[in-house]
């Protein structure tokens, strides 16, 4: 009984969708190359090195 009580104190409850999102994020960030590219992109955005949606669509055929 004491073990079950201790386990309950260490548990949290979150919505399934949030849990799935967290798993996906961890999977993506567990790849060092992907994580590095994301950090580089964030740095570029902070420095204002962005392009318009129109230019992006033209460049990538979206």
What distance in Å separates the CA atoms of residue 17 and residue 58, rounded to the nearest whole number?
A: 34
3-class SS of residue 45: helix
For each of the chain's 62 residues, which pLDDT tens digit applies?
455 556 667 888 999 999 999 999 999 999 999 999 999 999 999 999 999 999 999 999 88
Can you give the pLDDT at residue 10?
A: 82
Residue 11 has what pLDDT? 85
* pLDDT number for residue 9: 74
Sign (positive/negative) of CA torsion 10, 14, 17, 22? Answer: negative
């Amino acid at each position: 009984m004491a073990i079950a009580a201790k386990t309950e104190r260490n548990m949290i409850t979150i919505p399934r969708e949030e849990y799935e999102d967290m798993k996906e994020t961890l999977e993506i960030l567990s790849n060092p190359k992907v994580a590095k590219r994301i950090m580089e992109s964030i740095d570029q955005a902070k420095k204002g090195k962005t392009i318009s949606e129109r230019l992006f669509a033209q460049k990538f055929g979206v």
